[in-house]
Structure 1
Amino acid sequence: MRLYKPKLEYTKTQIMTVLILFVFLPPQFISSFTSVSAVLWYLKLLLMVYNLLLIFKNVRKLGLGTLILGIYFLTFIVSTFTNDGNISKAFSAVLPQFCFFAYADIMMRSRTKEFINSVSAFLVFYIVANAIILLIFPDGIGRFLPGYDYMRVDSRISWLGLDNGYIKFFLIAFVVFSISYKYHSFKKNALYVCMLATMVFVWSGTGIIGLTLMIGYVYFFKRGKISKIINYWVCFGIGIATFFGIVVFRITDYFSDFIVDVLGKDITFTGRTLLWDQAMLLIAKKPLWGYGVYDYDLLVSSANGQAYSAHDTVLQMMLMGGTITLIAFIAIAIVAGIRIGKCRKNVSNTSSIELGITCIAVLVMWICGITENMVFDIQIYFLFLIEINLPYILSAFQLDDELEEERIIG
């Protein structure tokens, strides 16, 4: 009697998706090794060539997401050119991202379930690996790396980088898990708890607030009157209002006790407000095209004399690309909102929770962008690309909804 040995079968789409995600979003503590970073650079170059060939072969499958993201990234190159800046550095900053998003756009529209499930499995591995490393090395793994140099590698680094960087992965994960693990409640809830526990463990105020909002919606506000008023435009408006309130008008002065005692931050957000003031002064001098992709940070901290970015996504965006780049970014957000609005009208009630989670993710993204520079972070645009392609994604997973309804009725 022959025993049957089950085989693990992976499609080409799944293998390439995981490889591309790993290369374009590598674990930060692994990429800290110079030799590994060099290998990843060559792999990224090869995958960029592969993606460009895929783009030419599937031009008709490219969606609106690729087009508007391409225009957005192009504004950085134009801005750099107008400022006689380093064009090669501008291309090296935006071209890999464009290739990644073009691939993701094609896969979301043509091989939707394979792609989303691959992204989901990839994120599960990253989240669990990060949690395990934090448990073993609670103060960070950086100083245990061979050849550790405190001037080059932060000792607090973990699998996903530094604590404030975790939320960027968790936002994508929350949205993707709500779709791919819709009928796997235990797995989904365990991952939600793992993400929140991670943010509490490292005590990232921004991350705790963001995940609390998302988990609160899932477990308390997904039904009833509150769920009816939570839509993309409300979240988008609150996000913009929060930016102006905190960064421009400094309403945080009225909540100093909460910021200092609860979040454990000083009223200047660890010196960020001083950088914001400098950034706004520089933006006022070149409001249209900004300063381009420059070789060094323009802002200098009065506390230690070191150069920094603006530590705010919108301000950094305007520093580099001016008002033109900001308009292109807002256009991306508006297109995403229009697509989500169409989904609300066309999909079944079973998908309303995913839509709500996606809307809350937009609000959390704005909140996170207030204290961090995420201009060239893949995660922020990946979230928008998922939203723009949400009609295809929900339609592809609609069959699961129908089968689940039949199971319940049967």
Structure 2
Amino acid sequence: MFKNRYIPSRMVLLVWVYYIYLVANSFLAGNKDIHLITSSIKILALLAVIDMQIQSNQQKAIEILYYVVGFFCMVDAASIIFFPDGLYQLTTNWNEWSYSISNYWIFGHKNNHAIWFILFGYLTYLHCTNLKKDKAKIICFFYALISVLSMVIIKSSTSLVVIVIVNLAIYKFGFSNNDIRFETKILLYISFIINVLVIFGFTVFLQPIVELFFNKDLTFSGRTLAWQNALFFIAQKPFFGWGIIPESNIQSLLGSIAFVNAHNQILQSLFQGGIILLLIIIVIFIYIANSIDNELDSNYKIVKSACLGALLIELVFEVRLDSQTTWILILVISQFFRSSHERIISDTDLQRGL
């Protein structure tokens, strides 16, 4: 029994540290909502189960996740394609003269779909690496068609960009012979620079990119108001933050009923947990980058890096570390490896075939 006991991976331990600190900090700040504990335990338990399965049989774990996540993504895609105006709509009254209508599907509003489809794309790629090349490309093409079409219909420019990045990585590099070498930490450096430029308003030179690829003005669909207000409150409690507070209070602090968070992961982390929580997140992402660099197969490394890059882009404009889907994506990227033994066998068989 003790021989097969479960020992959490470092990634899971880091996520535990993240949630334990965030929940404890929130309670100390005055938010004693028991839901914080129960929801965190659910996420940590799910990650532990997946981590345990990966340690036991990583290929089986990937297959299970592929079919489960794929089922939900296909249902969501069907709801988008067959109901382009949404399964239902919610009306937001801004004042007595104006209002807006938002469309919702299985995964919710338009900004909530990308992480699911990034995860599905990565799992699809892993699933297809065990198939014949022609069949694998057909399945990946089907994923590309469904994912891109869904993002086009919901009119989420950021989601479309990140999904295109993942698809290009899979098609361009996923099934070819590559020996591209690079440090994955470069993505973290670039992300940090972009976050600083965007948050503090140094974005004039980014205007062509923002307008062309993200279909936004330099206020990033009004997010600059939320960023400015978040910075004001972060400055008041820079080390420990304000903890997790109710959405109604967040809307009041950030200056609009449209904002239930800071719409930027760095600012949200500083707001909720201060510099300490941000340092925990930095450690987590450095660990992810190091784990990707430890991948021996260049094709896998490129696809993993594309998924990480897509996630980092999402984190510039949205808050995603409150989602179990994001943590599953992070866990699978950091814990799944194509072993060196498998690569040697494949390369040897290829040489014999030639």
TM-score range, shorter chain: 0.7 to 0.9
- Name the structure with the higher helix share: 1
Q: How does 1:254-265 map to 2 (within 5 A)?
A: 254-256=205-207, 259-260=210-211, 263-265=214-216
- 1:175/1:361 contact within 8 Å kept: yes
Q: Tell me the secondary structure at the aligned position of residue 320 of structure 2.
A: coil
> Which of residues 256, 266, 270 in structure 2 aligns to 1:314?
266
Structure 1 pair 331/268, CA: closer, same or farther in 2 (3 Å)?
Answer: same
Q: CA deviation at 1:219?
A: 3.4
Q: How does 1:355-374 map to 2 (within 5 A)?
A: 355-374=301-320
Structure 1 pair 291/100, CA: closer, same or farther in 2 (3 Å)?
Answer: same
Structure 1 pair 233/302, CA: closer, same or farther in 2 (3 Å)?
Answer: closer
The 10-residue stretch of structure 1 (267-276 or 120-129) with the greater mean CA deviation from structure 2: 120-129
Q: Tell me the secondary structure at the aligned position of residue 300 of structure 1.
A: helix
Q: Which letter does structure 1 place at the counterpart of 2:235?
A: A
The 10-residue stretch of structure 1 (161-170 or 255-264) with the greater mean CA deviation from structure 2: 255-264
Residue equivalent to 1:175:
122
Q: CA deviation at 1:305?
A: 5.5
Residue equivalent to 2:58:
112
> Which of residues 127, 135, 138 in structure 2 aligns to 1:186?
138
The 10-residue stretch of structure 1 (231-240 or 359-368) with the greater mean CA deviation from structure 2: 231-240
Residues 1:292 and 2:243 are matched in the alignment: yes
Residues 1:165 and 2:116 are matched in the alignment: no
Residues 1:336 and 2:336 are matched in the alignment: no
Equivalent-residue separation in structure 2 for 1:205 and 1:371 (angstroms): 11
Residues 1:133 and 2:85 are matched in the alignment: no
Residue equivalent to 2:335:
389
Equivalent-residue separation in structure 1 for 2:256 and 2:73 (angstroms): 34
Q: How does 1:1-400 map to 2 (within 5 A)?
A: 59-86=5-32, 88-143=34-89, 150=91, 156-182=103-129, 183=131, 184-220=136-172, 228-251=180-203, 253-256=204-207, 259-260=210-211, 263-296=214-247, 297-300=249-252, 308-344=260-296, 351-391=297-337, 394-395=338-339, 398=342
Q: Which letter does structure 2 place at the counterpart of 1:367?
A: I
Q: CA deviation at 1:214?
A: 2.3
Equivalent-residue separation in structure 2 for 1:99 and 1:69 (angstroms): 11
Q: Tell me the secondary structure at the aligned position of residue 161 of structure 1.
A: coil
Q: Which letter does structure 2 place at the counterpart of 1:63?
A: S
User: What do residues 2-27 of structure 1 show as CA deviations (whole Å, max 9, x unaligned)?
Assistant: xxxxxxxxxxxxxxxxxxxxxxxxxx
The 10-residue stretch of structure 1 (359-368 or 183-192) with the greater mean CA deviation from structure 2: 183-192
Equivalent-residue separation in structure 2 for 1:204 and 1:401 (angstroms): 43
TM-score normalized with structure 2 length: 0.84
Q: Which letter does structure 1 place at the counterpart of 2:27?
A: F
- 1:70/1:98 contact within 8 Å kept: yes
Structure 1 residue runs of 4+, over 6 Å off? 222-225
Q: Which runs of 5+ in 1 are unaligned?
A: 1-55, 144-148, 345-350
For the aligned residue pairs, the C-alpha RMSD in angstroms reads 3.2
- 1:89/1:293 contact within 8 Å kept: no
Q: Tell me the secondary structure at the aligned position of residue 339 of structure 2.
A: helix
Structure 1 pair 300/267, CA: closer, same or farther in 2 (3 Å)?
Answer: farther
User: What do residues 303-331 of structure 1 show as CA deviations (whole Å, max 9, x unaligned)?
Assistant: 75566311112211221111111111111
Q: Which runs of 5+ in 2 are unaligned?
A: 93-100
Equivalent-residue separation in structure 2 for 1:359 and 1:186 (angstroms): 23
Equivalent-residue separation in structure 1 for 2:29 and 2:260 (angstroms): 20
Q: Tell me the secondary structure at the aligned position of residue 156 of structure 1.
A: strand
Structure 1 pair 93/78, CA: closer, same or farther in 2 (3 Å)?
Answer: same
Q: CA deviation at 1:201?
A: 2.2
